[in-house]
Structure 1
Amino acid sequence: MTTSDSSSVATYDEARAEVLRLTGRNYGIVRHLFVQHPRGSAVRPSTLGTLVNKRKHRALLLYLLLLTIWPMLEKRREPFEGALWARLLSTEKGTAWTTSDISKAWTDLEGLGLIDRTREGRAVRVTPRREDGKSKWTAPGQVGKDRKETYFSLPGAFWTSGLFADLKLPGLAVLLIVAAETSKGDEVWLSYERAAEWYGLSAASFKNGTRDLEEWGLLTRRPETIKAPLSPTGSTTKWWYSLNGAYSSAARAAAQDLARKEREVRTKKQAATKKRTKSLAPKTRGRAPASPARQGRSAK
């Protein structure tokens, strides 16, 4: 009889680190469309606001994980089992997911048009749909000048550090909003009062989310006093939001640049290997000799 100790069993953290490694990049990408419809749309709030208002915290996390690891998942012959998804979203701190949690979250996502499910024998293959639920998912950024194709990145640290399990739903929502709004700049002006109009979040939820991120040291708010002739005080304060550490605009841009360079190196190595293999293959000149049977027929 054989026994196994804890050292022979991969931890939840190790499982998440491995799937991220297999993606070939240490971040996930999400369309801006997930957070907010493009400027000029009749309604600005999008899928994120819907998930927050419906309190679908687990569904939101599962969808983000699916998008993050899709580069490796779509190449797999066999889909992940529910138990593996549950491990990827559980932590040693005590946050545990069950296969029932996974199944319910998939059902919620399917109802919102965010995934497709197809049965393959006893397994179920899950495929992401576009972040607004309106069409099949494709890699963003493939169509130039299409505002529905722009995207922002979510650092791998979100998963490997366990932050995904630490943030409350409002904190997660504000993290995604600020990450989306700072994909091209260091900071963005935001307002509690406009949160519902812009993102579908109540002022209270936005304020709670801001506080959550500040407590984790992830968010910096910078006040700017400006003239306001019709204000009782003659001025007003605008608040500028920026993310810190691995979540900052600069750090996320650097991670994408590093992934691009590593991808170019891998591509060159693969091309060199293919060329070398081809050069070592045996070469034949002229017509191949006839088979003995064919030679016999020719002699008759």
Structure 2
Amino acid sequence: MSNDDPTNPFAGLEDQLKLTPQGARAELLDKARRGFCPIRNTFVQHPQAAKIRPSVLARFVTSRQERALDAFLLLHALQPILENEPYPMGTWANLLSGRRPCSTPTASKAFSTLEDMALISRRRDGHRVILTPLREDASGNPWIKAGSDAQERDGYFVVPHEYWTNGYADRLRLPGKAMLLIALKETQGDGHQSFEMALDRAFEWYGISERTAERGFNELNREHLLLTRIQRVANPKLPPGVYQRRYHRALREPFSTIDRKTLQDAAKTRVTATTERK
């Protein structure tokens, strides 16, 4: 029977043999049904009381582990669906392909890096690899979803799934990804739509060089993701008419504080509706 035969019950059916990495990510992320991924603040920076502020993110940047950072973020974004449906490493290789193709050995190496950093544990189950997240601070402690324990003191920020589905994960390079995560952390929650950061504080606060921070902000500007306001402030140590400059930055759609709150509110509404139906 041909596809044109009106008596053919399978008319119009065609093989669908190609799914792009971006399309595969979008389809799987849709199953997570949240629209965002929560990450603890301690992944980016230790609390103010800590003697050393830089945290795990700095280790990815200084060791140039962009692929491993992508693997870390995607693994968290795909929770909890991975708990019951682990993927073969070839699937991860496809999901992690983008600006640079990712082979199966390369994907495996990225997860080995995460294992060495005490960010995941992994074990084999036939052809599948069971990847289990550990605490985002690289302590090796068991992981639970950020925000799920009301007694937990660690704050968290959220990464909208548009990071993956709109191609930002493919277009941004490591400096841009690092500064996006920093900006997300610093602008999470009511009253924190912008943050102040001088480039020369990047290393002290986040363990990232001034040059890397500058390159990262430039990448975000090229993607039209960043707003900047330079505030001039009088300083008694400076001559009259000479002002100190303070750089205030905010994220634009789809990563703005308001956009993220909208995603979180929608997720809460869905959970409430599901609970009431039960």
User: Same fold, TM exceeding 0.5?
Assistant: yes
Q: Given the alignment of the two structures, is residue 155 of structure 1 paired with residue 160 of structure 2, yes or no?
A: yes
Partner of residue 96 from structure 2, selected from 89, 98, 103: 89
**What residue in structure 2 maps to residue 295 of structure 1?**
none
**CA offset at residue 267 of structure 1?**
2.5
**What residue in structure 2 maps to residue 168 of structure 1?**
173
**What residue in structure 2 maps to residue 140 of structure 1?**
146
Sort the Cα spacing of 1:243 and 1:16 in 2 relative to 1 into closer, same or farther, 3 A. Answer: same
Partner of residue 13 from structure 1, selected from 18, 22, 44: 22
Letter in 1 for 2:220: L
**CA offset at residue 104 of structure 1?**
0.6
Q: Deviation string for 1:35-88 (max 9, x for gaps)?
A: 000110111000001110000000001000001111211133xx1011111121
User: RMSD over aligned Cα, in angstroms?
Assistant: 1.7
Q: Given the alignment of the two structures, is residue 248 of structure 1 paired with residue 256 of structure 2, yes or no?
A: yes
**What residue in structure 1 maps to residue 201 of structure 2?**
194
**What residue in structure 2 maps to residue 262 of structure 1?**
270
**What residue in structure 1 maps to residue 224 of structure 2?**
217
Q: 3-state DSSP class of the match of 2:79?
A: helix
Q: 3-state DSSP class of the match of 1:245?
A: coil
**Contact 1:172 1:209 survives alignment (8 Å):** yes
Letter in 1 for 2:169: F
**What residue in structure 1 maps to residue 68 of structure 2?**
59
Q: Quick one: distance in 2 between partners of 1:203 and 1:123? A: 41
Q: Quick one: distance in 2 between partners of 1:263 and 1:83? A: 33
Sort the Cα spacing of 1:10 and 1:195 in 2 relative to 1 into closer, same or farther, 3 A. Answer: same
**CA offset at residue 116 of structure 1?**
0.2
- Which structure 2 residues correspond to residues 34-73 of structure 1 after superposition, within 5 A? 34-73=43-82
Partner of residue 28 from structure 1, selected from 30, 37, 59: 37
Q: Quick one: distance in 2 between partners of 1:142 and 1:266? A: 17
Q: Deviation string for 1:259-283 (max 9, x for gaps)?
A: 11112222333x1xxxxxxxxxxxx
**What residue in structure 1 maps to residue 213 of structure 2?**
206
Q: 3-state DSSP class of the match of 2:80?
A: helix
Q: 3-state DSSP class of the match of 1:39?
A: coil
Q: Deviation string for 1:161-184 (max 9, x for gaps)?
A: 111011011010000000000002
**Contact 2:96 2:107 survives alignment (8 Å):** no
Q: Given the alignment of the two structures, is residue 180 of structure 1 paired with residue 185 of structure 2, yes or no?
A: yes
Letter in 2 for 1:157: E
**CA offset at residue 95 of structure 1?**
3.1
Partner of residue 110 from structure 2, selected from 105, 113, 116: 105
**What residue in structure 2 maps to residue 279 of structure 1?**
none
Q: 3-state DSSP class of the match of 1:40?
A: coil
**Contact 2:39 2:136 survives alignment (8 Å):** yes
Q: Quick one: distance in 2 between partners of 1:146 and 1:260? A: 19
**Contact 2:68 2:113 survives alignment (8 Å):** yes
Q: Quick one: distance in 2 between partners of 1:98 and 1:8? A: 19
- Which structure 2 residues correspond to residues 117-136 of structure 1 after superposition, within 5 A? 117-134=122-139, 135-136=141-142
**CA offset at residue 145 of structure 1?**
6.3
Letter in 2 for 1:80: Y
Q: Quick one: distance in 1 between partners of 2:207 and 2:165? A: 29
Sort the Cα spacing of 1:7 and 1:122 in 2 relative to 1 into closer, same or farther, 3 A. Answer: closer
Q: Quick one: distance in 2 between partners of 1:144 and 1:39? A: 21
**Contact 2:67 2:96 survives alignment (8 Å):** no
TM-score by length of structure 1 reads: 0.83
Q: 3-state DSSP class of the match of 1:222?
A: strand
Aligned length: 262
Letter in 2 for 1:139: K
Q: 3-state DSSP class of the match of 1:29?
A: strand
Q: Quick one: distance in 2 between partners of 1:56 and 1:5? A: 40
Letter in 1 for 2:64: R
**Contact 2:43 2:136 survives alignment (8 Å):** yes
